[in-house]
Structure 1
Amino acid sequence: MPVPFTLGQIPAGVTTRRSWCNGAWAGRPLRCVVAVPARNEAGRIGRCLDGLERQQTSLPFGVLVLVNDSSDDTFAEVVARGRRRACAPLMVIEAELPAGRCDAGAARCVAMHLASRCLPSDDAAVFTTDADSLPPPHWIASYSVLIHAGYDAVAGLARLLPEDMADIPRSLLQRRMCEERYEACLDALEAWLDPVAHNPWPRHYQASGANLAISVAAMRRVSDLSWPACGEDKWLVRSLEAHDGRVRHDTTLQVQTSGRLFGRARGGMADTMRKRILDPESPCDERLEMLDRAYFRARTRRLLRELHAGHRHREHLETLSSRIRITPGLLAETLEASRFGVAWRAIESLSPRLARQPIKPSQLAAQCARGESLLARLRIPFALSSDLSAVTMP
């Protein structure tokens, strides 16, 4: 049985082989630490570290690289850079994960846990990115402002590095561009139908491990949940939202990331892209459903949110129970959850009307046209670049 990983502790099966830190690591207390899991990234991690060295912030921050199950010189490369440069506080740890959990989810979980142990207070933050990614210069400064303002987490977008674009089939880029357009259409529609005060339009609902920050306090609230082997970034953000965490899905700062088709993480972005190349009609992400269903889902969520908050009366509960095909008693019992996010997740799983039915790529163009026409009738602002070079990746 695979070893469970949680943010709260490192399982006994993780073995630390060696570690190193520069002199700056023992200096003044840190306000945030960037956790970077790395496996066989000796040739790419330099670009990531360059981006972190160029951060324009007065906030004291450190970088923790977890080299896991590598067969190349990633550890030595990070140490060499730290010795020859006057960089930010830097720590690198080489570890082996237990058999059966040598995966991206476990590696990021351990890296973030170790990063949180280096921070002194709950309002400090753990950032995370990938070893093959390049964060923008204001990444730490901007997201730290949001965390300090009371957000539990900030989830940003990740787009492809320009030099990797040539290796990706144009058909795949065009599919992703169409998906992104429909995603933005649904984001705008949901922002109008079910507004969330802390996450206003413009917003998105992607969650990428290449571009994520979370407060130490928020990490503690989900510290006992068992991490998946892949898709850990989306899982973490959805778990926070299920606990009514204040997550800002920021659209302003995008981290550039590798578009390679053969990555290091099983089930990661590279695997997803290869699957879509081999099967062009493979279903879209589960959130991309028919416009009518998306409209119904957002409208229903808003009504249930109001019921949960006590802003609607019993007769609305019975009407809604009929609409989503859940008995009034079961719906009322589910809505008694202290957090709406928990109640909503349960209701989605119980209701046949709310079952996810992702569309196929061949349906995207028609759904985009219908969605944009609806947004125009509702006078909801909506605009998106049609430039392939600006494509973001899920």
Structure 2
Amino acid sequence: MPPVSLDPVPPGTACPDTVIAIPVRNEAERIARCLRAIDAQAGLAPGRLGLVLFLNNCTDDTAGIVARLVPGMSIPVRVIEQTFAGAHAGWARRRAMEAAGAWMDEAAVASGAAGTLLTTDADSLVPPDWVAANLAALEAGADAVAGRVELIPEEAALLPPSLPARGRLEDSYDALITEMEARIDPDPHDPWPCHRTTIGASLAVRLDAYRQVGGMPEIPLGEDGAFVGALLQQGFRVRHDRAVLVLISARLTGRAAGGVADTIRSRCEEPDALCDARMEAVPRALHRYAWRARLRRLHGEGRLARDLAWARRLGIPEAEALRIAGLPRVGEIVAAVDRASPRLAYRPLMPRQLPGQIRFARFVLPLLRLGVRLRRAAPATPLPVVPTATADA
């Protein structure tokens, strides 16, 4: 069935240069509060913000609720409804974002350069400064912004106590290894303090950057991470800004297979399920970050293809190493090495390992901070020696 526009914006209505795109499927219980939160955005010039709702395969009263609420909103809204048997999360988010981009094209935004796309989820709650915080990060030099998320408190309170406790441990460890990464392999466009969350509930991107990487990947799962990965690999500046926060649902039955709801439910059912892939032991994390920094240095010096000692140490065959060295951008090179090296395979932690690794990280991190200070004071001074990846404790 072709898409149908409901309640189209009247001709002559000013076209916004900033548009939020939301895929929506059977969200009758949550869509009203989502829309109220978006309509409460503050700190924006009148007429700058618009909203696209892409209703796909809805079989409940979502469309009726949207039709009743949209006329009373203070921002222009475009609603698209479509039924498609092959629908999935990546397909729906891409359709929503493409429609938002097309709307900005109508405003004759020069080459899309001034347009900004944002996306969140229909079961999420954005704070009143969400759009303004994203725009501030973009105006500071970023091409895209990845926000962090927390569970809606009243929903999180209904979960088994073990799950929030595990979440607090994971958050603590993630912050520690993220700072380690920022110290060892710093990104001038994404300095510490930052985070490493990549989720469709909070993404913002310049329209020209969005199009240059081919748009949101149309894949069933992980489209958000794949999109940010594509931006980084092609050299775009992605800011993981801690000032950008969205509250996400803690429900156990979601709309997308493999999404947040499935993750929460599986961890309720299996408390000992492995942590996320990047949650590896401190020695392995340090080893990975040090190699990334070394690869960037070798690339910058033009030595990556001339001296393949790096590939031998990482267990990458010569032919594959030469192919990787010939990639045009250092972000692509680092990502390809991560995939190709058996010695950089991710080995995520078990939840019970987190307390010990947190203690280890808190011991190592001051040494890294000291090393950074010494390096800044005397450029020839190397960083302190850190453990190799021989231990998985």
Shorter-chain TM-score tier:
0.7 to 0.9
Q: Give the alignment partner of residue 94 of structure 2, picking from 81, 94, 109.
A: 109
Larger deviation, residues 318-327 vs 290-299: 318-327
Q: Distance in 2 between matches of 1:370 and 1:42?
A: 46
Larger deviation, residues 305-314 vs 110-119: 305-314
Q: Distance in 2 between matches of 1:296 and 1:149?
A: 31
**Aligned CA-pair RMSD:** 2.1
**Cα distance 1:251–1:354, how it changes in 2: closer, same or farther (>3 A)?**
same
Give the SS at the match of 2:157: helix
**Cα distance 1:171–1:243, how it changes in 2: closer, same or farther (>3 A)?**
same
Partner amino acid, structure 1, of 2:301: G
Q: CA deviation at 1:285?
A: 0.8
Tell me what 1:62 maps to: 50
Partner amino acid, structure 2, of 1:41: E
Counting only pairs closer than 5 Å after superposition, residues 88-107 of structure 1 correspond to structure 2 as: 88-97=75-84, 99=85, 101-107=86-92
Q: Distance in 1 between matches of 2:164 and 2:300?
A: 42
Say if 2:130 is the partner of 1:144.
Answer: no
Residue pair 1:123, 1:148 contacting (<8 A) in 2 also: no
Q: CA deviation at 1:312?
A: 5.9
Q: Give the alignment partner of residue 53 of structure 1, picking from 33, 36, 39.
A: 39
Q: Give the alignment partner of residue 70 of structure 2, picking from 63, 82, 85.
A: 82
**Cα distance 1:86–1:40, how it changes in 2: closer, same or farther (>3 A)?**
closer
Q: Give the alignment partner of residue 15 of structure 2, picking from 14, 19, 29.
A: 29
Counting only pairs closer than 5 Å after superposition, residues 136-175 of structure 1 correspond to structure 2 as: 136-175=127-166
Q: Which runs of 4+ in 1 moved over 4 A?
A: 311-315, 327-330
Give the SS at the match of 2:3: strand
**Cα distance 1:16–1:225, how it changes in 2: closer, same or farther (>3 A)?**
closer
Residue pair 1:115, 1:126 contacting (<8 A) in 2 also: yes
Residue pair 1:22, 1:82 contacting (<8 A) in 2 also: no
Q: CA deviation at 1:149?
A: 4.1
Tell me what 1:43 maps to: 29
Q: Distance in 1 between matches of 2:370 and 2:64?
A: 53
Partner amino acid, structure 2, of 1:186: I
Residue pair 1:188, 1:380 contacting (<8 A) in 2 also: no
Partner amino acid, structure 2, of 1:95: Q
Counting only pairs closer than 5 Å after superposition, residues 312-351 of structure 1 correspond to structure 2 as: 317-327=307-317, 330-351=320-341
Give the SS at the match of 1:167: coil
Partner amino acid, structure 2, of 1:58: A
Q: CA deviation at 1:343?
A: 1.2
Q: Give the alignment partner of residue 372 of structure 1, picking from 351, 362, 365.
A: 362
Q: CA deviation at 1:217?
A: 0.8
Paired residues in the alignment total 363
Q: Distance in 2 between matches of 1:236 and 1:334?
A: 21
Tell me what 1:187 maps to: 178
In the alignment, structure 1 segments of 5+ residues that lack a partner are: 1-13, 382-394
Percent identical pairs in the alignment equals 36
Deviations 1:25-47 (CA, angstroms, capped at 9, x unpaired): 85223111100111111221111
Tell me what 1:358 maps to: 348
**Cα distance 1:245–1:284, how it changes in 2: closer, same or farther (>3 A)?**
same
Q: CA deviation at 1:313?
A: 8.0
Residue pair 1:75, 1:92 contacting (<8 A) in 2 also: no
Q: CA deviation at 1:150?
A: 3.7
Tell me what 2:383 maps to: none
